[in-house]
Structure 1
Amino acid sequence: MVNATAGTTVLGAFDPIHQIADICEKYGLWLHVDACWGGAALLSKKHRDLLKGIHRANSVAWNPHKMMMTCLQCCAFMVRDQTNLLQHCNSAKASYLFQVDKFYDVSFDCGDKSIQCSRKPDAFKIWLLWKALGTSRLAQRVDRALAMAQYLTQQIKGREGFRLLMEPEYTNVCFWYIPPSLRHLPDCPELWEKLHKVAPVIKERMMKKGSLMIGFQPHGDRANFFRMIIISPQVSTEDMDFVLEEIQSLGQDL
């Protein structure tokens, strides 16, 4: 099995699914695509190319409770297999629960297809959201989130003291805030050692003040950086400006 990711948790990166699928088909390997975070891009005509080639996957995971903002928990595992794979994998065939001599088609009984057996009707959450908003409005949510991410990215590039980690592919905008006291330092280990301590202090201050709650973390050998994830359709350019202004206000004395 080969696992490709469409929207990584930290950076929002997308694997080249077409190229990976070529290799999997050549060697007869099962291709699974983890699209739990990035799968919503398929709804957008503007951004669905991020998942180009996903139709070639043998299985796909998607979490509507992320970008689609359905209530927790709402997850989907989709397979191209036509041999009732879920039942083959998960069925316990418990005779005290699942009698076969019923008047209806027992293949509709989902209890013996899932690990949980008894479970909440999680699929109802995305069904209701889809019926209420329709595909076009769900696509607008995705488009707006990516537009706000691009706006924030451009603002970071134009502000003194802010440094972008990388160009975002999705709505994960990762960046550093460099206080005035560190801006004279060259790009050297001393800078990154000191910068590693900045984001945790600002995060503590913003939470105690009650103004923001933005995650931070290191990645490999990179010092702690802010990881701004944009999802809500209600955020505006003014909100994006406030994020940067507040971080600067809380961290300029460090």
Structure 2
Amino acid sequence: MEKLVEELRAQIARMDLKAKRKYNLNKQFLDKLYSVYPFNKFEYVITHLIGTNTINLDQYLKIRNGYLERNKYLYVFEITAPRTFGETWAQRHLNEVVPELKRPSTTYDANYVGQYDFWFNGIRIEVKASRAVKRQSGEALIIKALSSHSKCGFDMNFQQMKPNCCDVFVWIGVWRDVIRYWVLSSHEVATNKHYSTKQHRGNKGEGQLWLKETNIEEFKPYEVTVRNILTAIEEKGKR
């Protein structure tokens, strides 16, 4: 978002003063411009930049493609329902990139009653996902979404984890431009110094863990590429 704003401001700066006044492209007006999807201040500015021949269609497409490349996962932040994101999107995404994972059932595990999300060669796998968002921001989720290069403080919460109900955890972290993966054994989660069991009163083996800019590097040993997720699951599941 910041990069798009910079590009549009640079284009506005190239417009002559008369055109700026005619089309109300000053910052004060744009900040107060009432927006209803899909009409917003960016649509307003781009329309007038093309209409005044400040940019042509090819230049617009270059700006657009650059924005899409920098924000390829921004659509994930549009999912506002926690369950839809944490379960529906995350589980579907992991199964798409690792199709070898099977949906659990009593066919594979006679004791299965919904405790975990996937099964692979006797390994019980739980999926948790979270999104990197600007800390202490009251803005909408899609506005406070961060890129992986942002210097802002961020919060990424993996919650409702029950290490006693699975063998391996797969964490999915979503930024506007990248998706990162971590694979940990249930023991590594339960014994991690950042793991907290204080999420709910009287909880029975359930906890949460916050990844922040201050501790995310500590989890580097658990991070894997998408191609190595299954290998890591097998390795962690054997411990």
TM-score for the superposition, normalised by structure 2: 0.23
Q: Which has the higher strand share?
A: 2
